[in-house]
Structure formats: structure tokens, C-alpha cells
DNA sequence: ACTTCGACCTGTTGGC
DNA sequence: TGCCAACAGGTCGAAG
């Protein structure tokens, strides 16, 4: 489910249904996700109005006058708008019931996600404090990435997936961006030239923006119960294509493991 | 300051 | 066909 484009798609999908709406009550069907779900949400949230629906990296932030609800979807999480009273399925762990009869429902089979309530200034929250810039924001540019990379010996793929470097570049788009930029995923981050970083920055922004744009079409039927995306699958160049021919040079795409994540690349196009 | 790796979970897939 | 190991869109936090 959640690469940055999907989280952003989720944000855009739920925002019109929950912003400026009043929370009636919370239904907790399970106490823990990755961490305990802050118990205080059951008493603090009812009566509050959701004022903002924003995103930092892959964290969704629901702002109220009392505090901020931090939601992460982990590997398998999703958020849906359903009608109040709708039967909950196996992995529907939390319902945020609104006064208007709608419910924001959190589902997460693997429970790698989290739901945390923060009443202190949100920027200083430990999970958010050391995050790098947004890939689609102004702070993410060639100079930044080049400078940041100079002291790093890690492979470029690992480097761009590090949330302290830049947020939101998950495994799929790290693979895709490196292919588009023609950079070998194994190359050491500190040994890549500035012009190549310029290209990489462009490719990262482009691939993420494109995916968000396509996600926009999924947006319309977001409230449908059966949300199968697969909308970006068509445009994937390397991810999930191990052993298949490169779309550019027909060479066989190779797969390796980097930091227990699979990397697929074209040995000829990526150097 | 940086890198590596185990851990957290369930559902699906691929190889035998 | 069936079983089991390996793997899956993330990322924290401990240890080196």
C-alpha cells in the first residue's frame, strides 16, 4: 500500500470527508499496532474538530485544537471512509467515528503502522524531528543531496531510502528513480558526481509526482470497499521485473539484495 | 557520525 | 495439489 504517493493519495481522499468535522467517538478494537495506540485518544478526541489533514513524509497528521493524531500506514495499512455501523473486518483496528455519520476506518493486517496522539508541538515529535526534506518540496535539490552525500559510503539506493536524507522514497520508487537516472544502485553515494545528482533529483521528483498524478484517478473511487490500486504497475520499469528484458536495451534485469530489500536494475543502462 | 541488522506482524507466492 | 520457507509497499532502535 504505502509509498509516499499512496499516502498522499490517501490524504487527498480522506480530507474532504473529515476536515472541519467533529469527532463523536473512537472505537479501538486492538490496543497495539507497532506501538500502543495512545489510549488518551478515546477521551481527548471526542468533541474535537479535525482542523487539518496534512502529511510529513509518510506520516499523516490530523490536527485538532488539543493535539495532533499521527498515523502511519506501515507496510499494509489503509484508511477508508465508511458509513457508521458498517461491519468491521478482521484487521479493522480503529474507527474514528464522526458526528456526521461517517467513519474514518484504519485497517492494517501486519500492524507495522502506528496511531499516536501528540499534544506537544508536533515538529519536535521524536518520529518527525530528524526527518529529511520533502522530495517534492523546495528544500530538496541538487546542492542539498550532493552535499549530504559527500560523507557517505553507503550504496546510493540505501542513501536515498534513508528518511533522514529525504523522506518518502520507498523501495519501489528508489528502484525506479535509479533506473531513470541511469545510476547503479550499488554505487557509493559519496562517489557520485554533482551532475548525476542533478539528474537523480529530477528523476525522484518526477517519478513520485507522476505516481501521485495517477493516484489521483484512484482518488475518485477511494471510498469503495475494494481498493485495489495497481495503477502504477503499468509504468514500472524495473521493480518486480527481475529476469525480464529492460524496456530500453532489452538486457535481462538483475536482482540483488541491499539491506534486506530487493533491488532490481539494468546492468547495462545503470552504471 | 555512519552502517548493519534484528525486530515487529500477517498474507501471499514460489519451489519442491 | 499441498506444504513450508521466503518474501512483501516501512522504519525504528540497538549494537558495532
Per the structure, how many domains does chain A have?
Answer: 2
Asked whether residue A156 falls in the same domain as residue A242, the answer is yes
Task: Give pLDDT tens digits for A104-120.
Answer: 999 999 999 999 999 99
- List phi, psi (to 5°) of A269: -75, -25
Strand partners, A52: A63
Name the grid cell of A115.
496511531
Indicate the pLDDT class of residue A231, thresholds 50, 70 and 90. Answer: low
Asked whether residue A65 falls in the same domain as residue A170, the answer is no
Q: Is the pLDDT of residue A151 over 90?
A: yes
Asked whether residue A191 falls in the same domain as residue A250, the answer is yes
**CATH code: domain of residue A198:** 1.10.8.50
Report the pLDDT value the prediction gives residue A229, as an integer from 0 to 100: 52
* A47 alpha-carbon distance from chain centroid: 29
Task: Give pLDDT tens digits for A130-146.
Answer: 999 999 999 999 999 99
Q: How far is the CA of A122 from the C1' of C6 (A)?
A: 39
Q: How far is the CA of A15 from the C1' of B10 (A)?
A: 29
Task: Give pLDDT tens digits for A160-192.
Answer: 999 999 999 999 999 999 999 999 999 999 999
Proportion of chain A above pLDDT 90, given as a percent: 89
Asked whether residue A101 falls in the same domain as residue A173, the answer is no
Domain range holding A68? Answer: 4-120
Q: Is the pLDDT of residue A75 over 80?
A: yes
Asked whether residue A220 falls in the same domain as residue A254, the answer is yes
> Would the Cβ of A130 be found within 7 angstroms of any atom in strand B?
no
Nucleotide nearest to A165 in CA–C1' terms:
B2
Asked whether residue A163 falls in the same domain as residue A259, the answer is yes
CA distance A149 to A189: 6
Q: Tell me, yes or no, whether A131 lies in a domain.
A: no
> Would the Cβ of A208 be found within 7 angstroms of any atom in strand C?
no
Strand partners, A96: A26, A104
> Would the Cβ of A74 be found within 7 angstroms of any atom in strand C?
yes
- List phi, psi (to 5°) of A205: -60, -40
> Would the Cβ of A229 be found within 7 angstroms of any atom in strand C?
yes
Report the pLDDT value the prediction gives residue A221, as an integer from 0 to 100: 42
Asked whether residue A69 falls in the same domain as residue A162, the answer is no
CA distance A138 to A209: 14
Q: Is the pLDDT of residue A232 over 90?
A: no
Using an 8 Å Cβ cutoff, are A154 and A174 in contact? no
Indicate the pLDDT class of residue A1, thresholds 50, 70 and 90. Answer: low
Q: Which residues contact A54 (CB under 8 A, 6 or more apart)?
A: A11, A60, A61, A63
**CATH code: domain of residue A74:** 3.20.190.10
Which residues from the 79-98 window of protein chain A have CB within 7 angstroms of nucleic acid chain B?
Answer: 90-91
| Mean pLDDT in residue range A236-248 | 93
Q: Which residues of A are catalytic?
A: 2-3, 58, 261
Asked whether residue A149 falls in the same domain as residue A116, the answer is no
Strand partners, A104: A81, A96
Q: Tell me, yes or no, whether A206 lies in a domain.
A: yes
> Would the Cβ of A114 be found within 7 angstroms of any atom in strand C?
no
Indicate the pLDDT class of residue A223, thresholds 50, 70 and 90. Answer: very low
> Would the Cβ of A150 be found within 7 angstroms of any atom in strand B?
no
CA distance A7 to A93: 18
Task: Give pLDDT tens digits for A10-27.
Answer: 999 999 999 999 999 999
* Mean pLDDT, chain A, whole residue set: 92
Strand partners, A160: none
- A85, A120, A155: which is the final residue of a domain? A120
Name the grid cell of A195.
551532475
Which residues from the 9-68 window of protein chain A have CB within 7 angstroms of nucleic acid chain C?
Answer: 34, 57-58
Amino acid at each position: 500500500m504505502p509509498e509516499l504517493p499512496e499516502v498522499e493519495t490517501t490524504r487527498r481522499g480522506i480530507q474532504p470527508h473529515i476536515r472541519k468535522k467533529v469527532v463523536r467517538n473512537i472505537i479501538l478494537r486492538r490496543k497495539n499496532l507497532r506501538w500502543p495506540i495512545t489510549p488518551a485518544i478515546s477521551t481527548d478526541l471526542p468533541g474535537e474538530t479535525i482542523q487539518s489533514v496534512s502529511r510529513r513524509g509518510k506520516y499523516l497528521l490530523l490536527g485538532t485544537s488539543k493535539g495532533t493524531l499521527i498515523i502511519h500506514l506501515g507496510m499494509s495499512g489503509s484508511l477508508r471512509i465508511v458509513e457508521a455501523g458498517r461491519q468491521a473486518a478482521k484487521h479493522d483496528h480503529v474507527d474514528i467515528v464522526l458526528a456526521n455519520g461517517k467513519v474514518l476506518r484504519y485497517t492494517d493486517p501486519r500492524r507495522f503502522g502506528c496511531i499516536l496522539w501528540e499534544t506537544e508541538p508536533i515538529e519536535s515529535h521524536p518520529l518527525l524531528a530528524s526527518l529529511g526534506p520533502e522530495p517534492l518540496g523546495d528544500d530538496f535539490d541538487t546542492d542539498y543531496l550532493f552535499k549530504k552525500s559527500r560523507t557517505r559510503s553507503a550504496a546510493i539506493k540505501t542513501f536515498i531510502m534513508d528518511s533522514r536524507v529525504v523522506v518518502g522514497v520507498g523501495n519501489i520508487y528508489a528502484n525506479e528513480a535509479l533506473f531513470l537516472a541511469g545510476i547503479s544502485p550499488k554505487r557509493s553515494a559519496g562517489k557520485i558526481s554533482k551532475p548525476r545528482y542533478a539528474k537523480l533529483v529530477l528523476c525522484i521528483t518526477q517519478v513520485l509526482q507522476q505516481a501521485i498524478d495517477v493516484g489521483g484517478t484512484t482518488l475518485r473511487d477511494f471510498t469503495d470497499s475494494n481498493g485495489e490500486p495497481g495503477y502504477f504497475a503499468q509504468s514500472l520499469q524495473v521493480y518486480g521485473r527481475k529476469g525480464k528484458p529492460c524496456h530500453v536495451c532489452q538486457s535481462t534485469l538483475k536482482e540483488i539484495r541491499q539491506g534486506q530489500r530487493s533491488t532490481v536494475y539494468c546492468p547495462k543502462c545503470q552504471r
